[in-house]
Structure 1
């Protein structure tokens, strides 16, 4: 839920909403088992979830809110165009001429990595793992040879 946490912190940092007026949580969590090995571990799954943001007394305009969310997604969730995730949705309920209550729902997809550790709590394929992050390097080009030298 790194994306949920990052967007929550960003909204607070921009003072779109105060921390006590913002609740963020995941709903409709779905797991897709992948088990793709990497150099330091493996990507065991992808978790897709709806990030729900309930905000009271938001002081930015409707247009500003759309722009802030759109810009953050364009910069921070660049993989979403390659993922089968839905578009953000929100309810905008003006409470007076200057504030609104908002419920925002954004579908996110995030990898879950296992990193090999000697005493990790997760046993998978006769290895011990812990959850963690690592860069998964994928070759863009390559050459296949038969191993002989000429």
Structure 2
């Protein structure tokens, strides 16, 4: 996973619904980025920071009589709900969009989405990133979740911990 992963993946989803002639007039970029330092040990890797940025997607000369702009907006909404699983927890705002008519057959469509992506690293002796006296490389890592356990409170217990209980 690299910086702008969400931008790249959502761009691909949008391009997939566009008529071929519109793909050359599609552009996407990030702006207003901040690097939020949130170091957290994930066991098999580290979430070093969150990359917060405004992603802008623009389709110029969208032939809205051929492709309803609502289909592009629905694609964005569906992708966000399927893939950006932290949106609700992080209380990110809903996307903004603007349709600017050019003539009676086409319009420019601009969509803005605020993203907050984790910057994930895994230990790698040859990795380019030095952090905490070790070397890392950028990569997602597996998060291990306990499925069962036992709880002790002072000298009382153990009480079994069971998932979905």
Whether these two folds match at TM > 0.5 is yes
Equivalent position of 2:11 in the other structure: 8
The correspondence of residues 42-61 of structure 1 with structure 2, limited to 5 A, is 42-59=46-63, 60-61=67-68
Unmatched runs of 5 consecutive residues or more in structure 1: none
Whole-Å separation in 2 of the counterparts to 1:84 and 1:31: 17
Equivalent position of 2:162 in the other structure: none
**Structure 2 counterpart SS, 1:143:** strand
Whole-Å separation in 2 of the counterparts to 1:68 and 1:115: 32
Match of 1:37 among 37, 41, 47: 41
Equivalent position of 1:76 in the other structure: 83
1:28 and 2:32 matched: yes
Unmatched runs of 5 consecutive residues or more in structure 2: 159-165
- Deviation of 1:145 after TM superposition, in Å, equals 4.9
- What is the TM-score with the length of structure 2 in the denominator? 0.78
**Structure 2 counterpart SS, 1:24:** strand
Equivalent position of 1:134 in the other structure: 141
Equivalent position of 1:98 in the other structure: 105
Equivalent position of 1:66 in the other structure: 73
RMSD over aligned Cα, in angstroms? 2.4
Range moving further from structure 2, 135-144 or 91-100 = 135-144
Whole-Å separation in 2 of the counterparts to 1:142 and 1:16: 53
- What is the TM-score with the length of structure 1 in the denominator? 0.85
Whole-Å separation in 2 of the counterparts to 1:105 and 1:75: 18
Equivalent position of 2:161 in the other structure: none
Name the count of aligned residue pairs.
148
